[in-house]
Structure formats: structure tokens, C-alpha cells
Structure 1
């Protein structure tokens, strides 16, 4: 297990980023297409699926591969920066006031573009919704996520919420639900809460794969809960990430609205529902169960699953990294992706750990104030003769 909040935070941030970078080249593909393109399973940093990435998809010329992190990690970093600015538990109003600034006004290096720009230029349409609704439409931040495409866009960057609420999955869930309301609704928002809770539980001393899954199923609702139960139960029947891929896909299929052709979603895809779930989080948890929590195997399973592989591997890697600590993340990979993505992830993790310690102290003082202010009833006593009882 991670031996401190600093170690757990570093394992979470590095673990998620490495999973994200390894999964970028396989995103949107089938396991069969991945093996054909790369000559077998992807077990290391590889180049783009299309070597001519600049012209293969002119609408979105992204250099996915070669150690580049994607928007998942860039959004994790943006939210971490908000925590370092506010240094308190966040609300939806903090997302409007600070996260929108991070994505719309702060110039940063975007690895997939290989140039500096504002982050919103890289984001998918569902994440651009933050800028549209919060800055341009002036929607109440607590309701701004309503009407958005329901996807994993909020869940994919919720690990910082779990870190600053380490050991308190209920608090992490509530905080993530609060801030994700500015971005997502329905099962997209629910997944954000559960992802944060998974990280918070993974950082608790004594946490295990089983305790993480039990925490998630205890807190999750509706289709998200049903999907996690179905996928993790199916995962217990396999002990290898390769065999887990078709098993987990079969288990999550009834809850996934996207359909079999990931790049051509069904007509009713990504709409609000109480019976559906995003695919990414249940599958990440399923890989964690199937591999016994092994970091590398959890990530390899997500990378070679295809579909939204960078998010699956990133979420699974973040939870496994939080559970075990930074030593499970191969240092040559973490060094390479930081160099090629031009990001200092050690600084991000250290900043979140500092905020986590500060918020823990704030929470202790807040609860002490509650104890002092709670109206405890005085013990009842027998009235003396002639005394009017109160």
C-alpha cells in the first residue's frame, strides 16, 4: 500500500497519466484492430495508430502516442491547479470561477498538438460545454451540466477530488457530485462521484481491491451501481487481463448506450438515463478485480480493450497507483511521458498532497466546532418538592 498521502498522490497521478499515454494510440479501436496494427498486444509506449496522424483524421489531427498524455491528464492537472488556488473543498461555483479560467485563458503545452495553446482548443465537445455554459451562457454552475452529452468527461479528471479527500470516500463522492454538476448530468455525473470515491478509498490505510469495489457499489446509484456490480462480478471469473477483455465487454454491454461501433454511436447514445452507465469506470474497476489490483495488468487491460482506452487505462491506473503507491508505476515510463508531454507530474502530486493535508486540518477544526456547538441535552433530574419541572 501507499505509505503516505504524498506517495499515494504520486502513485495516483503518475499511474493515471501513464495509463492515459499508453491508451491514447488504441482509442476508438477494437482489440483485433489493435493487434493487427501493432503486431500484437500493446505493452509499451507506441506511436500513433495512424503514422500520418496529421492528415489521417483532418477534423482532429492529434498526435496520440509516443508518450503524449491526452486531455484526460491535462484536465486532471487543471483541476489540481484549482485546488492549489482555492485551498478548500470545491463547489460548482469554483469550477465556474477557476476551472473555466484554467481551460480557456491559461496557455499550456498540448502534447497532441505539439504546440502551446489554451486547453479548450484540445477538449472534446462535451468538455467545451464548460466554457459555453459557464462563461458565455451564464448558467447557474450547479445546473450547467444539464443538456450536455452524457459521457466520461467529468469522471476522467476526478482523481484530485479523491486525493484531497483521502480516506473519506463519502466526502469525495459528495464533493465530486457537487462540482461535476457544472459539467455533466445523469450517469456521467454519477460516475464522477464514484471515481473520486474509489481514489479516496484506495488511499485509506488497509484498503484493498475488494474494499474499493464495495465502496463504489455502496455509494453508486441506478445504472452505474448495476453496471459496476455486473462487471466486477464477471471479472471474478477470470484472472488474466486478456481473457477479461471480452468478458467485461459482455458484462457492460447492457448498460452502455454507445453501441458496438464506438466511432458511430447509436441514435440514443449518451442521453440521460437512470438505467445506463458510462463504460469506462465499470470496466476499469473490472480490470482491477480481474488482475488482483496489479498496476501493470490493470493498465494493459484498459489499453488493449480499445474503445475509450485512454480513459479506461487512466482511471484504472489512477486507482491502482493510489492503492499501491508510486513504486508500481515504471519509472522509465513516467519519466518519458513527462519529458515528451512537457509536464511536471511530480509537482502536481506534491501540490495535491499539501492541499490534502490542509483540508484534513480544516475538516478536523470544522468538526470540532460542530462538537462544541451541538445542543447536547442535559440529563433529566427528579424535581425537588415545590419545584416546577422544566
Structure 2
């Protein structure tokens, strides 16, 4: 179904440490986000026409100097290395982990993430100003504040009623990193967290993305093993979409030739329809038969690229449609595998966005170690209690 281990180039994952994987995943996600932002919403053909060929790095706003007023982009400065809400939400979730320093659930979102979004001004690259993150995030993310802060909804059920999209999945990489090499744990934790934000296949995608990132952290991981871990946990239309997309992806080793086949493979499961800027009447409604487009395509491009960061992210960027989120996911997965993030891209994005892309990674690595130590103590306490009840290891 996916590239064999022999076909996968050495991405350095055998020797990558936990810190390197976490840094690669988070810096990689931000870089993918920034590269995809200026071409989000357009088709591969439109992107190639606008830029005189495929995008090969950081580019400027689609409408040039008219970005402040040109619709449908205004008032956001997408391009020139600016990260979008994908990265803002990812860093917000990391701040919650840094505060709680343990596994999270939907109540952590209500108690910490929502107040952070609505009360703490931060530099917003696309607005080129300091503002509340709430003023930048999409309406599907504003839902968190409306439902949890103003609506007083049970955090575990607050996601019900929101449009079903990639809004939760796009910032779930930290959950996979805290649960590094434990996909099932990452899946369960992300599903709980995402219950405050999403339902149906949007929530499912959040769980599967976290699981895939956790699987990518395992020593010796390959795109093959990452997809296998995702398929082992994914349910309903999400599982089928990943399977069908990756069956196509394994037949390609160049993203240029893969773009149209990947879109054709995911189209039956994507509710948005062929015109991304004019969604179909059935778009983003709950369903057990459908999936978000972004996650299967990100996994497919990881397979096409054989785990190589640059190729996976550039494939995502040139795919178009919701390509900043696709590139965010692909970047996180390739970075977690250990494929190096191009330094010139990372430095440019950090400078242009006025963000330290490495500090959140250091913080999350420390949290991941603390959580692992707590898990070990909890597991050993359970083993002692189970043994005392006559379980395995109890002598007569």
C-alpha cells in the first residue's frame, strides 16, 4: 500500500533524538504553514500560472502589495514567510501543555486554551500587529470561545454543531509528540481534546494526525509505518480515504505527477467539492462516510516524498486548496521522522513571523519527559495493584 522500507531514503530517523524529533515536527509544521499560506485556496494550475511554475520556496502574497484590500485574502498578509492560524493554534496548545504538564483533555481546552485565545495579546504575523489570537483565528476556531466561554457547554461535547473541517487536526501535532512512539495513546488524547472543538470526521482526523505524529517519532519509523499506524486506528470514512489515497501515492515518487491522482483519490470522501472557494451544499456536515481532505493528502504526499521534508511540503504547497494545513501536517510528519527542515526556510519564517520557532519545541520536549515519567509511575502503581489482586506475577 505504501512505499517499502527499502524504497525509503535515509532521513536520519534512526539516530534522531526525542528533542530532534519534536523540534523537527514543530519547526517543520510552521515552515509548511508559512509556505502554503500565500497559495491557499487556489488550484495547482492557478498556482503554476501565478508563479510561473511550481512554488519552490517562500513566496509573496498572491495579490502583491494589494493584499490589504484584495478579496478574499484581505486583511491578512499571507506570504513572505508569515505563519497562519495553524501555527498560532499549535503554539497555543503547547502553552497549555507547559501550564498543565500532564496529559490534556477537553477541560484543559476550556480552562486554559480558551482564556489564552481571548485575553493574551500576541504578535499576529498576518495582521502585522499585536492582537488577541481570537481576532485572527477562523470562525470554526472562534467556536471554542463562543461555546465554552459564553455558552458554558460541556467541554466534551462543545464541538458538536461546528462545521466539520481540519480546524482541530491542524494543531494536534503536539499531542503526538507528548505521546511520542505511542500512537494509541496519542489518538485517545487527541480525540478527548478535540471534542471541545470538532465532531464527526473532523474530530477523528485530529486523533489520527496525532497518532501518525507519534508513530513517526518511533526509532526506525518510515512513511510505511506511519500510514500503517494511522490505518490501525482510523475509523469510517477517514480510514477509507487514507487507504485509497496512499494506494495511489505509492505508485508515484514525484509530487508533480501525483497532484491530480491524489486529488482524484480523495475527492469521493471530501465534502467541499471541486471548487474550494464555493463549497458544495453538503460541505463540512457530519458523516461516517466522509473525511477531511487535508490529512489523507498529507499522508499521501509523505509517501510520495519517501519521508523527505522538502519534497513532502512542496508537494503539499503546490496541491493548493487548503494547502497551508496540508503542508503543516506533512511538515510535522516529515520532521518527526527526522528529515531535516531546510535551515534557510526556518530562519526566514522565524524572522518574518517574529516568532522563536525553537522555544516551543524545547518547552514541549521537557513536558514530554515529565509526562512520560508520570506515566511510568502510574503504570507501575497499577501493576502493583493488579498483582496484589491475583493478576500475573502473583505467587500462590
Please tell me the TM-score bracket, short chain as reference: over 0.9
**C-alpha distance in 1 between matches for 2:73 and 2:22:** 36
Within 5 Å, which residues of 2 pair with 1:294-373? 294-324=308-338, 328-373=340-385
State the 1:44 CA deviation.
1.1
Within 5 Å, which residues of 2 pair with 1:8-47? 8-47=21-60
| 1:155-187 deviations in Å (ceiling 9; x for gaps) | 000000011100111000000000000000000
State the 1:79 CA deviation.
0.2
State the 1:293 CA deviation.
1.0
State the 1:106 CA deviation.
1.0
**C-alpha distance in 1 between matches for 2:395 and 2:336:** 47
* Corresponding residue for residue 282 of structure 1: 296
Match of 2:272 among 248, 258, 281: 258
* Corresponding residue for residue 384 of structure 1: none
State the 1:358 CA deviation.
0.4
* Corresponding residue for residue 131 of structure 1: 145
Mapped contact 2:35–2:79 kept (Cα < 8 A):
yes
Match of 1:109 among 123, 133, 151: 123
Structure 2 SS opposite 1:285: helix
Within 5 Å, which residues of 2 pair with 1:41-120? 41-51=54-64, 52-57=66-71, 60-120=74-134
* TM-score, normalization by structure 1: 0.95
**C-alpha distance in 1 between matches for 2:315 and 2:128:** 28
* Corresponding residue for residue 197 of structure 2: 183
* Corresponding residue for residue 272 of structure 1: 286
**C-alpha distance in 2 between matches for 1:320 and 1:90:** 24
| 1:26-74 deviations in Å (ceiling 9; x for gaps) | 1000111101111111101110111111110278411000000000011
Mapped contact 2:98–2:367 kept (Cα < 8 A):
yes
**C-alpha distance in 1 between matches for 2:395 and 2:98:** 46
| 1:114-143 deviations in Å (ceiling 9; x for gaps) | 000000110111111000000000000000
Instruction: Please say if 1:3 is aligned against 2:16.
Output: yes
**C-alpha distance in 1 between matches for 2:74 and 2:190:** 30
* Corresponding residue for residue 385 of structure 1: none
Mapped contact 2:178–2:367 kept (Cα < 8 A):
yes
| 1:233-263 deviations in Å (ceiling 9; x for gaps) | 1101111011110010000000000001101
State the 1:333 CA deviation.
1.0
Structure 2 SS opposite 1:254: coil
Structure 2: 5+ residue runs without aligned partners? 1-12
| 1:182-238 deviations in Å (ceiling 9; x for gaps) | 000000000000000011110111111110000000000000000000000110111
Structure 1 SS opposite 2:312: helix
**C-alpha distance in 1 between matches for 2:48 and 2:220:** 38
State the 1:379 CA deviation.
6.0
**C-alpha distance in 2 between matches for 1:29 and 1:75:** 23
Structure 1: 5+ residue runs without aligned partners? 381-390
Let me know the Cα RMSD of the aligned residues.
1.1
**C-alpha distance in 2 between matches for 1:8 and 1:291:** 18
- Please list every run of at least 4 consecutive aligned residues from structure 1 whose deviation after the TM superposition is greater than 2 angstroms: 377-380
**C-alpha distance in 1 between matches for 2:361 and 2:95:** 11
Instruction: Please say if 1:230 is aligned against 2:257.
Output: no
**C-alpha distance in 1 between matches for 2:115 and 2:345:** 30
| 1:241-298 deviations in Å (ceiling 9; x for gaps) | 1111001000000000000110110011000000000000000000011111111110
Structure 2 SS opposite 1:33: helix
Mapped contact 2:67–2:73 kept (Cα < 8 A):
no
The structure whose Rg is larger is 1
State the 1:4 CA deviation.
1.1
* TM-score, normalization by structure 2: 0.94
Structure 2 SS opposite 1:255: coil
Aligned length: 378
State the 1:15 CA deviation.
0.7
**C-alpha distance in 2 between matches for 1:145 and 1:352:** 25
Structure 1 SS opposite 2:69: helix
